[in-house]
Amino acid sequence: MKQNIGATEYYTSVGDAATAEMARLKRHIAAVSWARLVVALAAIAGVWLLWGDVQPVTIMLVASAAVFLALVKLHDRLFGRMSMQKAMKQVAVDDLHRTGLELDGLDGGDEYIDTRHAYSYDLDLFGRRSVFALLNATATPGGRDRLARNLIDTGRVTADIESRQKAVAELSAMHDFRTRLQALGIVARGNDDKAAEDAEPPQAKLRAWQRIAIHLFPTAMVVLIVLAVAGMEVAVYIETVALLSLLSAAAGAKQVGRIHADVEKVVSSISVYHNLLAEIEQHRFSSPLMQQLQQRLGSNGEKSSVITGKLSKLLANLDQRYNWLSYVLLNILLQWDYRQVRNVEKWLNRYSPKLAEWRDVLACTDELCALATFAFCCRCDVLPSIDRQNDGIVIEARNLGHPLIPGDRCVCNDVRTMTAGNFMVVTGANMAGKSTYLRTVGVNYLLALIGAPVRAAEMKIGIASLFTGLRTTDSLGDGESYFFAELRRLQSIVQRAEAGERLLVILDEILKGTNSADKQKGSLALVGKLVKMNVAGIIATHDLVLGTLADRFPGRVFNRCFEAEIDGDTLHFDYKLHDGVARNLNAYFLMQHMGIV
């Protein structure tokens, strides 16, 4: 895999453009902030200078309030654009790190680590510098969770591999679409989490007197202002209504604050993504899966983007209560807090049944976009062909490489055609590449099962359950030794195979916890049993006796090896897979050169 100049140039340009736009927006935000202050001070000075002259004061206050409100909305729009540009900058930085395989600072999904899972712990799917850190360019908590769960339970998506492949291929060319999705996710992330997405829509109900106040105080204020403009002496009444209106709003401030927080926690993700939903609705997708997702958006002829755009405005309106000057003016004139809560309540009553479906569409799109970003960043653009026959190929590949190894250090190897009943025994010296090869096969097979591209020149797979035994751990808490833990994993393989499940088994140095003779006997017996079942497997071992299995099961078991060449005082590895059983071992050689013996 060569360095991906295309991705590097693209994300560098995205970051540079975001930096320039942030500088411009910062100047505009400062100018609007000063303008708001000037309008507020001018209104205060005008009231002080013209106090007692009701008509000019009233006209000036109304005009000042209108200008101030317009400036508030402009200020909010500029801040929204600034947040988006900061997010675009962050996306560019993160995806440049993915392109360069610099994964230390990226989310590794630590909470999904499970040492007893069938393969995830062995294959370093989660944690620092993990496969998940490389793949997880998701924008939403739902998309992130869907990606992780598909990786650890491929049965969720294996029926749709081909349709997912087509969607990923289409999305991998839509760089701006994917980048915008990631940025919108960063903007929303401060208010949202997976627990909030799963929560039930909140209740946003006002008390009866609050509903009356919405109409009573604004109507009284309008009438009094009209009378004042007409020249009548109503100043004291305006002051009284203004005070009562403000006290009314203050009486329900805590209640409105709780409703605001509950609503924002649960539905803010939908409101933030209305621009993305609009793009999904308007884009002409060619892949069937993306077309199906697109068709699930909307409600009774209304576009979901328009509906969620309304919610976004309602939440922005509620945010005005955090500015004390806006709070005072808007609640005196309009009973603003109660009015916005009432509008949110109407929205929830009408559209909350659709929230779960829209979130699902976003999560599906998000996860597919993450796989497409992986394809773009890492130039993994080979989509394996799928053999759906139960007795067909389990796996075959040409020039297979591990996606976490940089291109200048990655040595690619083949996987010969394997069907159920085929076993590959891989022998070789220490550090020659056996374990890396096993993980390379496992990771790419897993990517293929979820419809993702793989790092290979060519690959074909059949549908089977993946099971590995590469890094068995003991459990002091459960009183379980290393050896018993390994036996439990082997038992699980046999039980699943006996139940008729089709398996791809990848094992590294099995039965390490017992003596050599016992290990040989057990290993030979295990492979002899599995080779007669619906299982294909790869076993790496230092025990050259396992090479005799090819003689016992000709045409079903075959030997491959990684060699170490010792030339005088030099040890050389080519990390290439060769036919046959390994000839050269290196443990004693290394111990001598390190002064151990």
Query: With bands split at pLDDT 50, 70 and 90, how would you rate the model's confidence at 240?
Result: confident
Among 508, 365, 504, 390, residue whose Cα is nearest residue 448:
504
Taking the C-alpha atoms of 562, 567, 569 and 571 in order, what is their torsion angle to the nearest 10 degrees?
Answer: -20
Backbone angles phi, psi at 569, to 5 degrees: -95, 10
**What is the CA 573 to chain-centroid distance, rounded?**
38
Quick one: average pLDDT of 201-216?
77
Q: Which amino acid, 327?
A: Y
Look at residue 538 and give its three-state secondary structure: strand
Query: With bands split at pLDDT 50, 70 and 90, how would you rate the model's confidence at 544?
Result: confident
Find the distance separating the first CA and the last CA of the chain, reported in whole Å.
Answer: 40
Q: What does the pLDDT read at residue 569?
A: 64
Point out the least confidently predicted range of 145-154, 362-371, 506-515, 582-591. Answer: 582-591
Quick one: average pLDDT of 438-458?
96
Output the CA torsion sign for 174, 180, 183, 189: negative
DSSP 322-380: GSHHHHHHHHHHH-HHHHHHHHHHHHHHHHGGGHHHHHHHHHHHHHHHHHHHHHHHHT-
Point out the least confidently predicted range of 366-380, 404-418, 472-486, 510-524. Answer: 472-486
Q: Which amino acid, 227?
A: L
Look at residue 519 and give its three-state secondary structure: helix
Cα–Cα distance list, 72 to 37, 402, 472 (Å) = 11, 52, 60
Statement: residue 588 has pLDDT above 50: no
Report the DSSP pairing between strands 413-419 and 503-508.
unpaired
**Residue written as token pair 């999705």:** 181
Q: What does the pLDDT read at residue 502?
A: 95
Look at residue 190 and give its three-state secondary structure: coil
d(C-alpha 334, C-alpha 371), whole Å: 48
> What's the pTM?
0.81
pLDDT digits (tens, 9 = 90+) for 82-115: 989 999 999 999 999 999 999 998 999 999 999 8
- If one compares 319 and 202, the residue with the highest pLDDT of the two is 319
In this structure, how many other beta carbons lie within 10 angstroms of the beta carbon of residue 551? Answer: 9
Q: What does the pLDDT read at residue 265?
A: 67
**Residue written as token pair 């897979």:** 577
Look at residue 68 and give its three-state secondary structure: helix
Of 182-186, 260-264, 349-353, 444-448, the range with the highest mean pLDDT is: 444-448
Quick one: average pLDDT of 296-325?
79
Determine the Cα angle at 148 with ends 12 and 162, to 5°: 85
Query: 266-287 as b/e, with b when 16 or more CB fall inside 10 Å?
Result: bbbbbbbbbebbbbbeeeebeb
Cα–Cα distance list, 283 to 183, 276, 506, 565 (Å) = 19, 11, 42, 57
Statement: residue 237 has pLDDT above 90: no
Asked if 468 and 506 touch (Cβ cutoff 8 Å), the reply is yes
Of 114-123, 314-323, 484-493, the range with the highest mean pLDDT is: 114-123
Quick one: average pLDDT of 297-304?
81
Quick one: average pLDDT of 247-262?
80
Q: Which residues pair with 506 in a beta bridge?
A: 468, 538
d(C-alpha 579, C-alpha 562), whole Å: 9
- If one compares 75 and 271, the residue with the highest pLDDT of the two is 75
Statement: residue 73 has pLDDT above 90: no
Instruction: Please report, rounded to a whole number, the percentage of residues in the chain having pLDDT higher than 70.
Output: 88
Asked if 81 and 73 touch (Cβ cutoff 8 Å), the reply is no
Token output for 284: 């002409």
Q: What is the mean pLDDT of the chain?
A: 84
Statement: residue 379 has pLDDT above 90: no
Q: What does the pLDDT read at residue 201?
A: 56
Token output for 424: 């590959």
- If one compares 244 and 89, the residue with the highest pLDDT of the two is 89
CA max distance for the chain = 111
Token output for 459: 């690959």
Among 426, 416, 409, 429, residue whose Cα is nearest residue 563:
429
Q: What does the pLDDT read at residue 480?
A: 55
Statement: residue 138 has pLDDT above 90: yes
- If one compares 266 and 127, the residue with the highest pLDDT of the two is 127
Statement: residue 557 has pLDDT above 50: yes
